[in-house]
Amino acid sequence: MTAIVARVIVTPKPAVNDPQGITVRQGLATLGFGEVTDVRVGKYIEVRLDVRNEKEARERVEAMCRQLLANHVIEDYSFDVDTDGRSSK
Amino acid sequence: MTAIVARVIVTPKPAVNDPQGITVRQGLATLGFGEVTDVRVGKYIEVRLDVRNEKEARERVEAMCRQLLANHVIEDYSFDVDTDGRSSK
């Protein structure tokens, strides 16, 4: 078995309201960051899993995104998989 | 002025409890994803800004992370900056 780390990014679809993003933009403007034109806030999910190979990891993580990690009505997702050296920490 | 998009990832520090991650791992296990060994949940923040160049963008986004986007007591952050073609959508 191979230790794999998958890094999943879930973002609100472009057409969907993002109140968190608006709040962060206003906060940044108040702090003097007037150059900011837009902020979108999403989720970052790091999943560690033991699978046979990267291909299996991709299939499983794709299934996780569809079933739990993302709400495909209002969110987009993307991910990459990598062998887990815990070196990125 | 150049339109820049910065992609910021904020994660709980390794030593910090991550109840969201634990909940997601349990949810995945319930759905049959028993191969998952660990889940960490963080934030993904996409900031669009108009600045003179990439160097200025890096400095400004670094300041945003320190002042608002991340809580450096319990969170780590990383980001990359890119010219904004809105092509990644």
pTM, to two decimals: 0.90
CA B65 centroid distance within chain: 10
What φ, ψ does residue B25 adopt, rounded to 5°?
-60, -45
Long-range contacts, stretch A13-21, CB < 8 angstroms, 24+ apart? A13/A74, A13/A75, A13/A76, A14/B89, A16/A74, A16/A75
ipTM computed for the complex:
0.90
Partners of B3 on chain A (C-beta within 8 Å) are 37
CB contact under 8 A, B45 and A68: no
pLDDT bracket for residue A86 (50, 70, 90): low
The series of mean pLDDT values per 10 residues for chain B, 89 residues long, is 96 95 98 97 97 96 98 96 67
Q: Chain A: give the shortest CA distance to residue B73, in Å.
A: 16
Structural domain boundaries in chain B: 2-83
CATH number of A2-83: 3.30.1280.10
- Report pLDDT for B88: 40
